[in-house]
Amino acid sequence: MRRIIFIINPKSVKKNRDRISRAIEKGIDHNIYETSVVYTKSPGHAVSLSKEAVARKVDIIVAVGGDGTVNEVASSMICSSSVLGIVPLGSGNGLARHLGISRNIEKAIYLINNYTTTIIDTGSVNGKVFVSIAGVGFDALVAERFAVAGRRGFLGYFQIIANEYFHYKPQNYKITFEDGKVITQEALFVSFANSNQFGYNTSIAPNAKLTDGLLDVCIMKKPQIYRLPLIANLLLLRMIDNSALVKIVKSASLKVSCTQNSVVNVDGEPINLGKDLEIKINPLSLKIIINPDDSKV
């Protein structure tokens, strides 16, 4: 029998605990799978729970929560034999959206039971693993504000953007790519995209692939106010690469120098990693369950 452990962020499930339990009981074939469920108790707890599960060679480790929970669980699974499953119950759900994994609990658990897998790339910033996207600049500031905000979900996220955007001053970045190319530019943000998703179905890297061994490095200038509706539409339509304000360069590794200590958005979580950043791809390093009908791997 395959062993499955569900690592659940209780802040994400809230009133859905009973529904999660019922969905696991009804959706998992208990003739094939042996299941267990644990709830995290604090930030970072999912890392140790996942690490322990990997050491015990648990077959499937399921992250139940948002992008931060997925990151914590996945970070202990790099190059292991365990397979990551996702039940996306967070705000942005960037990786799940890229993979076509439904936010409906029952449908997500059906995919786990169905067990279609692939192997994807992961990335790192100064050794800190990310699975979907990392970045510096305005999106990292928003992630920092969102982490302590009382209001969650898209409206909370949008409110922070509205409050911060107009007085945010773009920073200067020096970006050195593996081929020696150097870009020095003032930018609203610089994103390192493994998947195509910012979250909320906004696509900052429409052509990003999880299996190509490359990051899509997205450098965006700050739009003037009158251009914001167009930029929002391009993000939602997965056409932001058509904007003259955006430059996208594919690279397996790069270095970024910032003018000040940088908070980095790592899969939606803000982390202070200093002025000098080294970003790398780790090709085909994470086994994961996907939606075979809708995945854009």
Provide the CA 25 distance to its chain's centre, in angstroms. 28
Enter the tokens of residue 176: 């050195």
Is the pTM higher than 0.95? The answer reads no
Identify the pLDDT of residue 156.
72
All domains of the chain in start order, with CATH: 2-115 (3.40.50.10330), 128-282 (2.60.200.40)
Enter the tokens of residue 261: 């200590």
The CB density around residue 249, as the number of other CB atoms within 10 Å, is: 16
pLDDT truncated to tens, each residue of the chain (297 aa)?
A: 899 999 999 988 887 889 999 999 999 999 999 999 999 999 999 999 999 999 999 999 999 999 999 999 999 999 999 999 999 998 778 899 999 999 999 999 999 999 999 999 999 999 999 999 999 998 888 888 877 766 666 677 678 887 888 888 999 999 999 999 999 999 999 999 999 887 667 788 889 999 999 999 999 999 888 788 877 777 777 778 888 899 999 999 999 999 877 799 999 889 999 999 999 999 999 999 999 987 677
Contact status, residue 267 vs residue 130, Cβ threshold 8 Å: yes
Identify the pLDDT of residue 5.
98
Contact status, residue 130 vs residue 269, Cβ threshold 8 Å: no
Contact status, residue 108 vs residue 294, Cβ threshold 8 Å: no
